[in-house]
Amino acid sequence: MNERAAPVEPLTLELVGAMHSVATRLEDALDPLGLSLAKFGALSKLVAAGEPLPLSALAERLACVRSNITQLVDRLEADQLVVRVQDPSDRRSVRAELTAQGRALHTEGLRALEAAERDLLDRLSAPQQDDLLRLLRLLRERA
Amino acid sequence: MNERAAPVEPLTLELVGAMHSVATRLEDALDPLGLSLAKFGALSKLVAAGEPLPLSALAERLACVRSNITQLVDRLEADQLVVRVQDPSDRRSVRAELTAQGRALHTEGLRALEAAERDLLDRLSAPQQDDLLRLLRLLRERA
DNA sequence: TAAGATTGAGATCTCAATCTTG
DNA sequence: CAAGATTGAGATCTCAATCTTA
């Protein structure tokens, strides 16, 4: 029994707080490269796809709305990391294509993130790391 | 051995993705009340403190910069959930004080969050929930 | 009309610079 | 000068409305 007042903070706020802390650490790791998590995420999806992606597809894979991608690609284009290319078969569609520079920076970002990841996860044993990933995926895969 | 290309996505991006998904779910739960996670977080810290807090203290407890709190309190004040009060003993200091309306809405928000929390965590057994919290705290408590 | 993309308004956050008070 | 708060600029995100093309 605990005599003190009941916790005012729901469990989920702890979740959000911890995740915010992790995200901040990762942003800091990417910052020296001029990258943000948002930008790296987009580059990452483009590399994974292996080909230019329509902005709608990018929005779907990054779990955000289309208008967000319009602006994100604006900034990526200003950084010369991607270019917009027209789709001749459907003139409504615009695809984002990686530049050589974008591909190279993604590789650097990957290294930086993996270093930050080792720093972060070194606290946890290998089985703990597996557990964490499994639990988070359970939360995510909810309808 | 896996013949396919190595995963392009670092483990940490999975973490960020899961975080984003959870945060979105919680935002949705608060939305009908006209609350956001940011606003609820501030109300929650004020309720926990039991007294008006200087904006600096609020910034510290919410792990963000002061200028963020200035604007957040602007919006909370516009919603009539808090008021700014002057500190007679130090005229530099401004404290945020809950209104009755702010206190009431915090209670409603708490209920909404706890419902969303049950929805989210129902997937996990009680020991799994404990594990998740423990693991996240380990990640957070890093220097 | 549907779909793809963009625009405009606004919420949330950061940083750098500034202003007042200590 | 330090500290507390604010302001201004800009990044990131959402929603509603709009424009073009299918």
pLDDT per residue as tens digits for the range A88-113: 999 999 999 999 999 999 999 999 99
Kindly state the helix (H) or strand (E) to which residue B123 belongs, with its residue range. Answer: none
The reply to whether residue B12 touches residue A120, judged by beta carbons under 8 angstroms, is: yes
CB count, 10 Å around CB of B125? 10
pLDDT at B122: 87
Listed range (A9-23, A49-63, B23-37) with the worst mean pLDDT? A9-23
CA–C1' A43–D8 (A): 31
Given a cut of 60, whether residue A31 has pLDDT beyond it is: yes
Chain A residues whose beta carbon lies within 8 Å of the beta carbon of residue B118: none
Q: How many angstroms separate the CA atoms of A113 and A111, rounded?
A: 5
pLDDT at B8: 52
Q: How close does chain B come to A94, measured CA to CA in Å? A: 24
Q: How many angstroms separate the CA atoms of B31 and A104, rounded?
A: 41
pLDDT at B4: 43
Of B14, B120, B133, the CB nearest to A142: B120
A36 touches strand D (CB under 7 A): yes
Split at pLDDT 50, 70, 90, the class of A68 is: very high
Quote the mean pLDDT of chain A.
90
pLDDT at A138: 86
Q: Which nucleotides of C are covered by protein (CB under 7 A)?
A: 3-9, 11-17, 20-22
Kindly state the helix (H) or strand (E) to which residue A94 belongs, with its residue range. Answer: strand A94-98
Q: Which residue is closest, via its CA, to the C1' of C16?
A: B67
Chain B residues whose beta carbon lies within 8 Å of the beta carbon of residue A121: 11, 139
Q: How many angstroms separate the CA atoms of A9 and B47, rounded?
A: 10
Q: How many angstroms separate the CA atoms of A96 and A110, rounded?
A: 20
Split at pLDDT 50, 70, 90, the class of A139 is: confident
pLDDT at B2: 41
Could you tell me which residue, B25 or A137, shows the higher pLDDT? B25
The reply to whether residue B17 touches residue A113, judged by beta carbons under 8 angstroms, is: no
Spatial CB neighbours of A135, under 8 Å, sequence gap ≥ 6: B124, B128, B131, B132, B135
The residue-averaged pLDDT of A116-137 equals: 88
Split at pLDDT 50, 70, 90, the class of A137 is: confident
pLDDT at A112: 96
Given a cut of 60, whether residue A5 has pLDDT beyond it is: no
Whether B41 contacts chain A with CB within 8 A:
yes
Q: Which of B10, B87, B42, B4 is nearest to A41 (CA)?
A: B10
